[in-house]
Amino acid sequence: MNIALIAHDKKKDALVQFTIAYKNIFAKHSLFATGTTGKRISEATGLEITRFNSGPLGGDQEIGAMIAKNKMDAIFFFRDPLTAQPHEPDVTALVRLCDVYSIPLATNMGTAELLIRGLDEGLLDWRNIARENGDKDEK
């Protein structure tokens, strides 16, 4: 599965710790991340991560494009709801795309725990069928 990892500045430490805790699960999947977040996770875990631009420089939109092309299966986006974000419209658009395309999205530690355990249990295997059907539509 293709999984995106994103975190606002004040949530980066929490996402790094989360990926360390579940490294064995994340290692079974293709990982994508925005700039600094991806670098920090890769350095802390040794996991291979495809990195996009930082969120404010278009990284959120790059991940959004993957969602729109049915090439993203789950998103872990640790958001900071107490700090204004200069790229809030991009964040809102990404959340909206997850809703439009039924992409599981964890925006905090509580939902992240449920999503990662569901992923490990195979509860997201329906995404394999959705991705295959989407690919056929593109041809």
Give catalytic residues, as residue numbers. Answer: 60
Strands 74-78 and 2-7: parallel
Enclosing H/E stretch for 1 = none
Which of these, 20, 67, 65, 68, lies nearest to 43 by C-alpha position? 20
Q: Is 14 exposed, middle or buried (0-12, 13-18, 19+ CB in 10 A)?
A: middle
List of residues 6+ apart from 37 with CB closer than 8 A: 5, 6, 7, 12, 15
Enclosing H/E stretch for 92 = helix 88-100
